[in-house]
Structure 1
Amino acid sequence: MQKLLKKFSFTKGRAIRTLAGLFITLIFVGQAGNWFEIPFVERLDGIIYDARLRLTAPGGVDPRIVIIDIDEKSLQERESGGEGRWPWPRDRLALLTNRLFDDYNVNMMGFDVIFSERDESSGIRTIEKLAREDFKSDAVFQERFAKIKPSLDLDSQFAKSLKERPTVLGFSFLTPGDQQKKGVLPPAAFTTDELPLGLVDPTVRQGYTGNLALLQDSAADGGHVNPSIDHDGIIRRMPMLIAYDGKYYESLSLASARTLLGGLPLGGVIADPTNPSFGSLEYLDVGGSLLPVDENLTSFIPYRGPYKSFEYISASDVMNKKVPKEKLEGKIVLVGTTAPGLLDLRATPVGKAYPGVEIHANLIAGILDGTIKQAPFWTYTANFALVAILGLVFALVLPWLSPLRGSILAGVSIASMIGLNLISYNKGIVLPLASVLGVLLLVYLWNIGFGYFIESRSKRLITGLFGQYVPPDLVDEMAKNPANFSMEGESRAMTVLFSDVRGFTTISEALDAKTLSEFINAFLTPFTRIIYNNRGTIDKYMGDCIMAFWGAPLRDENHARNGVISAFAMVNAIEEINDDFAKRNWPPIKVGIGVNTGRMSVGNMGSEIRLAYTVMGDAVNLGSRIEGITKEYGVAIIIGPDTRKDLPDLIARELDKVKVKGKDIAVTIYEPLGFEGQVSPEILTALTLFEKALAAYRNQEWESSKSQLEVLMRDHKTTGEVLYELYLERIEILKDNPPGDDWDGSFTFTKK
């Protein structure tokens, strides 16, 4: 199975990766070539553009442009310092205009407000009707009406305030297909003869809402207030020119900038006049300054920063002369609104409720400073070439690279494209990025995902083989190199652990079947977690007994150490387990643990009907035997000689030399007490005394050994009462039945 997986990943798998990569590349090439649209890519390009803009925005407040804000304060009633609800009488707007020019000496004034209907709030129309009909022959009435008429003609007062001043009125084109016409338009910037449609693909409209002819004729110029709204509802660009009825009309920002500069003429700059196939308008010439536009005659809005990147002053404060003169003198002012009820809040890259008037302020500043970004005609060709070349390279190269090298290639390529894009943006060129990133990421993720799929199959194979024995983190580690593991038998140096609950038969007789099951699970679960946490493999559960080993299937150079650490942890867990048992009215438990190290056979063993991954051998049998005699010595853990040998920093008490059942050769067994630095001085003292007693015992110096053991029983009884009593009993027997000169000091056990 493993050989087949390996062969598949290097032959058929590579072909599938390559073909899929080429298909992904073809899709993105089609999008970059405008053969079709991928909405997600378009949306991603907008997100990337917004991020670049916010990252590089200069921030701060531009002191040259001030927004006269028709805000909530201005809409309050007169007695509260405002001007009342909108629309205001035109004489109040005339007052605002006169204040700004006469009292504050502003340089220019633009209105992001449309005045398409007559102001009849003074009652002039009613009085005019009376003069024409009911009082037609009343000379006194006619004389008095002639005197007061100028004061009642509020539109004329407003028009007078606009006249011969650098003022620009805003107007609005209607949605496509709406042919309604209201008011008048300002003079056009171009005709389609001067700027043929073959050079551009402009925004075209059929209807508009303009200003009263009296007002528009009095103003220096006018401009539309219609931004270009992208597919995601965000305003990133403004049409500098919109086509209507064979003519082009400029935006409020462009008209304001030209008015400020003295009404400089507007011209066009063709990208490549010598090559008709590439001929398109690339710039608008504003009296010698170049304003970048795309084929749709739109320009990127150079947002300076979030809301209030320009100073806002309440219109009512200006009208009431509450503003210091220096705040407005010599400034460009735009009249607009932030009052939510007047519905001029827009979604932009720098804010979801951004005042429309501040959009125009940003554009005016960009036109004056020459900081508006451009997307020349060649950027689309460059994007197409990058998508095609990089996609092809990734599709052909990634299947041959390792995941690490493929990730490095992808990371470097993506970082390079982002860096190149940012450098280009800082130099004023807006390059598309989403399609390039899209093809690189998707081809890369496809290759990684396909590799992961194959790896996951290998992991499922490993999990099926070893998941019931090995903790999940080791399964993950094994799955990285599945060819290194198999169920076939082999001989290794390993460590085995046996754990058994003492007196379990008596305990089980006192519990019903359901409670007994819960009882066993309650201590086997924490013991298993301990073994798993120390990289152990569970061989089997045998009632209350656990058999585990270290060193397979994952090799472990520290198998002896991990086995002993697990034994210590299991003994330490007993206290917490018994506390829980006491709350449930269950009997407490004690365990005996045997740990042994040596060469063992490991692999799938059993019959054709049932197999199990297990360990076998003399070293395994010895581990089981020494666990069985822990009770004889009154200790919780006994380790074999090879385990002791592999752990030089382990402090252990030599318990005995024993011949366990089935073994003719005596082996030395030890009780592990702790690693260096972990054993108390009292235990170390008792250990020294016991070593002396044991040496005397093996030299058949019975009285000397006995005296040492009696001292231990008297002064250090808690360190091994059962062990000391065991040797005292043996001494009494051996004194009466001397073992002879050839005695090796060992003891033979005849039971398991």
Structure 2
Amino acid sequence: MNKKTKMPEWVVVIGVSVLSVLAALFLSNTTSFQTLELKSLDMRFGLRGPLEIEDNPIVIIKIDDQSDESTPHRWPWPRSYFAHVLRNLNEAGVKAIGVDVIFDQPDKYGAEKDDELRDVLNTYDNIVLAGKISRTFEQGYSKSTVIPPYEKFITPRSHWGLVSLESDLDGFYRRYIVSDVHRDSLYSSFAAMIYKIYTDQEDALLTSDEKSFHIGTLTIPKYDYSSMLVNFIGPAYSFPNYSFDNILDTEDFDLLDDYDLDVFDDPGDPEFGISPGLKYSGILKDKIVLIGSTMQELHDNFPTPFLDAGGNDSIMAKVEMPGVEIHANALLTMLQNRFLRRVPDALTIGNILLALLLTFLATRFLPTLWSAAAVFAGFVVFVVSAIYLFSGFNLIIEMVFPTVVVGFAYMGHILYHYLQTQQEKRMLRGAFAQYVPEKVVQDIVANPEKLQLGGVERVVSVMFSDVAGFTSISEKLSPAELVILLNEYLTAMTNIVMEHNGIIDKYEGDAIMAEFGVPVPFEDHPQVACRVALRMQEKLVEMRKQWKKEGRPQLEARIGINTGEMIVGNMGSQTVFDYTVMGDHVNLASRLEGANKQYGTFIMISEFTNAYVKNDFYTRPLDLIRVKGKEQPIEVFELIAERGQTLDSTHLEMLSVYQRGIEAYRKRSWNEAIEFFEYCLSLRENDMPSKLYRKRCLEFKLNDPGPDWDGVFTMTTK
């Protein structure tokens, strides 16, 4: 039978792995794939939860609805409001101030309002204003324009930085532009400028290389060419914050009547339990204050990772984050050097390779459900590890790409094993269908684990049969007649074998080799083999009657059966093999078939088979024989009939007397043995074993075999 060469497993592993990586790379360019990776980052934020920040240096002043309602003017307010607040903050000891409002045009309330703000900017050098780089697309080209603060506010002591925020493709804000380029000029971000002021590095240059930004001694890992990832400390309003009007509300500034309480510069009265206002409380001393809008109508609120993030049930997680707070998060990330960094690519690749190997091992050695459970457990470990690296070490490992690679690999291996199993089932069906019963083939195909290929030791019963005098018969027939006769005989014998779950190992001319108990084991194979041998002889009796009528040769077959431990499996090359049995017990069965000729019998079984079947079948001892090439003698028996079948009383009496004759023979009681065997012949005159033993006893009576005689007959031919 033919066998397709099995693909080496290392080829399968590499092939599935490469295809899985290529498929994942292809998908990685899709929006859905990239969005999923971004959402996995949000999940890590949510599961990590808000950070507890000790001595948070950043305070936010909100341009909110309360302030808009309490001031004499509605938004946009006169610049004098900002001048007043900036002066108040500096008087409260604030170290650095950022104003997240772009003042790029003259104040609509008059030039004197701009002058007031300019005077404050000339007085203090710790204030950072907002600017941006505007980009538009016209006729397929990108056009950029720098929008700095209004020219009056560009003073020797003032600073400004870019407040532009850029969303990811899903509309969420996770990155922060650290610097941007316009016409070969590098512009610093709002947070970077404030960082330099707060850390007393006003003169430090912001530089950039392939992997990082640099501000003095600070190194900021790049997310892309212009941005970093923001390590958000929590959802919206996680920073200390006050309304703009709380800072504006001093003795020299009049809010609307209901709000004008002069709370900012209230000295307080400890005697009456009145706490001082922000100016004297020390709350703002040495702090960074960021001023920005939180009003919804100004559209300066954005979705960030904590918005609806899993694991965070804070009510603020349902609120978009003001842009000023995104700046605050970016600035705090810089100040605390708590940057989010990607793990090295080598580690990611190593993890993927390890996962691919473990996936292969799981699918190779575990049942499908267990392999799925193992792969899922590996996924859980991977997710937990990713969360741990993020929460404990601010490290980001890609989650979606490795997961997709492993998912494809798992499906690839499962598909490969399925196709391989189907191929093996087809191979098994094709290999066994010609000489194995259909129900056995179905069992093999459904449960291939029962079929241990490649050579295993198993107790099996093997049968050899051969047509007596076939050579002389073949000389009397034409080739066509011989083939027809032989096919009739082989078909009938084969059907009997297969009806009893035996398998045809091979045909050699008129000879048949069959096994019982393989490839699917069953316990009573010795009994089945004997039953088949008897049924074959019965069938031949029927066939000889028909052949006699037709004037054709009447075939007789001799059968040998042995049971023992044999090597079972596929024997041969990688491309051509036979499912067969090998070993001394196989050779013995073949010898027994030929030994029938010596005793005039048609079914001979070994002592090993007889030990299994003696309670189920009528057998009688034939001899102790020593086969050619072996020193240890074995006892052989003639298989007569299955118990339960009716044997006439004469036959039963003959068997009993025959047994006594064998016992006398082995005791060297020649005269007694001769009497027993002659009596057997009086009951069944053509009993060939009785004739043989009577002849031996007569010879030994005349010529004593000597003291070394052990009753063993040595076969000199195979």
| Pairwise same-fold verdict (TM > 0.5) | no
- Pair member with larger Rg: 2
TM-score (normalizing by structure 2): 0.41
